[in-house]
Chains A and B, each alone.
Chain A
């Protein structure tokens, strides 16, 4: 009985600490949402958080996009690019990571170092040669330059991430599977992949979020407005040398966060589950 009330008090304290810290986290979103309901001509001149006049017009106007193409198209394009990227990264980065973390082969250390090096060069300077390369393939104004590289495990961040997670798994597990007669692929499918589920979920999440926000590459490779993505669409509301539609921009910025929220919220439960290694130990 006494133990239970102590537990309750501890839970209460935890909740309070988390909430107080959390208010600071929430403020910008509240501001963003509030701004999306304000009229364009008050967003930057009226500092108050709560809109004095409340309008849905920004959403209506924003959803129409730039007139010739609407935001429905931008969302569809972003979803296609992100979806394919997620699938590719989960499969190919984890296979590559498995090789680096668990398999023995000549040149392993060398290739691992090379893989790390690819992370370290600022991408701005490889922009032009990459563009020339994709142009010679005839891929300009298609989704291919944005998606195909992911099928060749070019996102070294996730390889390194998964390498670290696989290496932290107890090795006895694959040894016992080896005795059970599993091949390398079998060990990967039956042991490594299920056990690194939290890391794979992380890969899904980050790949989606980062591809969703990857404005620069999308700008370079997509030319036709019908192929534009959400971040490109957002940029089209604002022009320093002409008219800017701040209200619609903020309204669509809020909408563009929704898929990210939904994905995060629905995936985070997989972090809760943790791993039960007991079943495998026997």
Chain B
């Protein structure tokens, strides 16, 4: 009996692993080596063109401590702060906006296909040059926004996009404006909630607001959680938009110098790929810690299909 149970468990495991085989192969053959190699590079000085030179913990030392000979990298700390600010403001705003629009788009209106496409447009444009031109046009000193503020309210507003105090917020706005991806995922999630749940609660006399909190939010919680984690990860790695809007410089005064932008500049611009690799692993640790925290907290808040 015991032996039988064990063979069954082994067979169970084997057949499960069969489903996982493509991914496992991909991980070992394609993903693991580049990851480990970049970890190795993080302990070296590597200008890309010549073989890497082992320097131990020096790259990490320059990032966080520094001394006379290897002064601490202030631009690194600045980019970390800029990125944290960006993540913690843009992600909640973007998710809230995406969920609100998804619910608006989940109605039965004749023009819904048209509206959905309309609202996805900003995301479709992604990192195209058009975005950079548009953002400058809207938020420059003599841009559309300021023209309105001046003529309608007689204010003297700053040049939002090129003022170190406000430039980051124009990029946060850009990120929120490109809310299409989480919106689509929310929409797919809303569609997956069985209608019977709503019908049953309507019979019980529950209002819209109550239904939102009693049915929509709990049923959607795995999807909300997914969007939260993924948006956080991608916000930490945010690169393209800052790159095109600032002309690759993270300016003015490094106020939009995102972590990934600085990493890229260091790696390919300044030929310090070893240092860039070290930066990448620091970012990985930060994101992993926050993600682990999110998973931990989610345990009590996210409800999966019954029986879990």
Which stretch from A56-64, A79-87, A265-273 is at the chain B interface?
A265-273
Q: Determine the distance from Cα of A123 to Cα of B113 in the docked complex, in whole angstroms.
A: 35
Shortest CB distance B198–A (Å): 11
* Known A105-B12, A122-B280, A253-B129: A165·B19 in contact at CB below 8 Å: no
Q: Determine the distance from Cα of A11 to Cα of B108 in the docked complex, in whole angstroms.
A: 9
Q: Which residues of B contact A118 (CB under 8 A)?
A: 27, 31, 35
For B10-32 the 0/1 string (1 means CB < 8 A from A) is: 00110111011011111101110
With both beta carbons as reference points, the residue of chain B lying nearest to A111 in the complex is identified as B20
Q: Determine the distance from Cα of A115 to Cα of B31 in the docked complex, in whole angstroms.
A: 10
Decide if B37 touches A122 in the complex (CB within 8 Å). Answer: no
Q: Does A242 contact B (CB under 8 A)?
A: no
Q: Determine the distance from Cα of A153 to Cα of B195 in the docked complex, in whole angstroms.
A: 33
With both beta carbons as reference points, the residue of chain B lying nearest to A28 in the complex is identified as B134
With both beta carbons as reference points, the residue of chain B lying nearest to A91 in the complex is identified as B22
Q: Determine the distance from Cα of A213 to Cα of B127 in the docked complex, in whole angstroms.
A: 9
**Interface majority SS (helix, strand, loop, mixed), chain A:** helix
Q: Does A255 contact B (CB under 8 A)?
A: no
Decide if B16 touches A104 in the complex (CB within 8 Å). Answer: yes
Decide if A25 touches B16 in the complex (CB within 8 Å). Answer: no
* Known A95-B22, A118-B35, A121-B284: A184·B16 in contact at CB below 8 Å: yes
Q: Determine the distance from Cα of A172 to Cα of B107 in the docked complex, in whole angstroms.
A: 29
Q: Does A99 contact B (CB under 8 A)?
A: yes
Q: Which residues of B contact A99 (CB under 8 A)?
A: 16-17, 19-20
With both beta carbons as reference points, the residue of chain A lying nearest to B125 in the complex is identified as A28
For A72-102 the 0/1 string (1 means CB < 8 A from B) is: 0000000000000000000010011011100
* Known A11-B109, A95-B19, A154-B31: A261·B124 in contact at CB below 8 Å: yes
Q: Does B99 contact A (CB under 8 A)?
A: no
Decide if A133 touches B305 in the complex (CB within 8 Å). Answer: no
Decide if A168 touches B219 in the complex (CB within 8 Å). Answer: yes
Contact of A106 (CB < 8 Å), options: B13, B101, B119, B219? B13
Q: Does A66 contact B (CB under 8 A)?
A: no
Shortest CB distance A241–B (Å): 15
Decide if A121 touches B35 in the complex (CB within 8 Å). Answer: yes
* Known A161-B226, A168-B223, A274-B191: A253·B34 in contact at CB below 8 Å: no
Q: Which residues of A contact B22 (CB under 8 A)?
A: 92, 95-96, 151-153
Contact of B26 (CB < 8 Å), options: A104, A153, A161, A249? A153
Q: Does B120 contact A (CB under 8 A)?
A: yes
Shortest CB distance A166–B (Å): 8
Decide if A275 touches B191 in the complex (CB within 8 Å). Answer: yes
Q: Does B260 contact A (CB under 8 A)?
A: yes
Question: What are 21 A-to-B residue pairs whose CB atoms are below 8 Å?
Answer: A14-B109, A21-B101, A25-B118, A92-B23, A98-B19, A111-B20, A116-B291, A120-B283, A121-B38, A121-B281, A151-B26, A157-B230, A160-B230, A165-B188, A167-B222, A172-B306, A213-B126, A249-B129, A253-B128, A275-B191, A275-B192
Q: Which residues of A contact B29 (CB under 8 A)?
A: 152
| Residue of A14, A15, A18, A154 with highest tally of chain B CB at under 10 A | A18
Q: Determine the distance from Cα of A125 to Cα of B273 in the docked complex, in whole angstroms.
A: 7
Decide if B196 touches A277 in the complex (CB within 8 Å). Answer: yes
* Known A124-B280, A261-B117: A14·B23 in contact at CB below 8 Å: no
Contacts from B to A (Cβ < 8 Å): 12-13, 15-17, 19-20, 22-27, 29-31, 33-35, 37-38, 41, 48, 101, 104, 107, 109, 111-113, 115-122, 124-131, 133-134, 137, 177, 181, 184-185, 187-189, 191-192, 194-196, 219, 222-223, 225-226, 229-230, 233, 237, 260, 263-264, 267-268, 273, 276-277, 279-281, 283-284, 287-288, 291, 304-308
Within 8 A of B (CB), among A18-63: 18, 21-22, 24-29, 31-32, 35, 44, 47
Q: Which residues of A contact B279 (CB under 8 A)?
A: 122, 125
* Known A103-B19, A151-B22, A165-B192: A128·B130 in contact at CB below 8 Å: no
Q: Which residues of A contact B137 (CB under 8 A)?
A: 31, 47
Q: Which residues of A contact B260 (CB under 8 A)?
A: 122, 124
Q: Which residues of B contact A167 (CB under 8 A)?
A: 222, 304-305, 308
Contact of A119 (CB < 8 Å), options: B48, B121, B233? B233
Q: Which residues of A contact B33 (CB under 8 A)?
A: 129, 133
Q: Which residues of B contact A25 (CB under 8 A)?
A: 118-119, 121-122, 177
| Residue of A114, A129, A188, A249 with highest tally of chain B CB at under 10 A | A129
Q: Which residues of A contact B118 (CB under 8 A)?
A: 22, 25-26
Contact of A209 (CB < 8 Å), options: B124, B225, B273? B124
Q: Which residues of B contact A106 (CB under 8 A)?
A: 13
Q: Does A189 contact B (CB under 8 A)?
A: no
* Known A22-B115, A95-B19, A120-B284: A28·B35 in contact at CB below 8 Å: no
* Known A28-B130, A129-B37, A201-B188: A184·B19 in contact at CB below 8 Å: yes
Decide if A278 touches B196 in the complex (CB within 8 Å). Answer: yes
